Amino acid sequence: MTHHSPRLFSIDAEITRIGKGLLARTLPKGDWTHEAHLAACTWIVRDCPEINPEHDLREIISRYNESVGGVNSDTEGYHETITQVFIAAVRYHLSERPGEERLCACVNALLVSDRGRRDWPLRFYTKERLFSVEARRGFVAPDLG
C-alpha cells in the first residue's frame, strides 16, 4: 500500500468552509481532496445532527460532483462502498475522542492514523471488489475481513 503524507488543517474554520462548501456546492473542485472528504465527513458526523451521513452523503456528494462538472458513472464520481467505509472510520475515530473540542485536531488525528489513509479500505477489500461497479453503485461487504 502506498503512503501519502496528508495535508493537515491549521484551523477549524477551514474544515467548516469545506463542509459548508460541499453542502452548498460552492467548494472549488480543486479543494475536494481526500483530506477534504474526511474533514467534511467528520464535520457532518460531529456537528450536523440534521444530516444522516449513511443515507444523505450519496446525494450530497453526487450533486456536488455534478456541480463542478463531474459525473457519477460506473467508473468515476461517487463511490458508495468507499463512502460507507470512511463514514464508519470517522464514527469510530470520534468515539475514541469524546469531548474533543478542536475540530482540526480531531480531523488531523484521523488523517495521520491508519483509518485516514487513502488505501485503508484495501485492508478489507480486494481491488477487484472495491473498484467494481457493484461497489461503486451500492454498499458491498468486505471480502478480506
Q: d(Cα 28, Cα 126) in Å, to the nearest integer? A: 32
**CA-to-CA distance for 100 and 39, rounded, in angstroms?**
15
Q: Is the model's pLDDT at 2 over the cut of 60?
A: no
Residue 83 DSSP code: H
Q: Which of 56, 41, 57 is nearest to 106 (CA)?
A: 41
**Cα–Cα distance for residue pair 79/84, rounded to 1 Å:** 9
Q: What gap in Å lies between CA 44 and CA 1, rounded to an integer? A: 28
User: Per residue in 49-66, pLDDT tens?
Assistant: 999 999 999 999 999 999
Query: What is the domain partition of the chain in residue ranges?
Result: 12-137
pLDDT tens across 78-115, in order? 999 999 999 999 999 999 998 878 999 999 999 999 99
Print burial letters for 39-48: b (CB count within 10 Å at least 16), e (below 16).
Answer: bbbbbbbbee
Per-residue pLDDT of 111-129, as tens digits, reads 999 999 999 999 999 999 9
Grid coordinates representing 31? 479543494
- Residues 145, 46: Cα–Cα separation, whole Å: 27
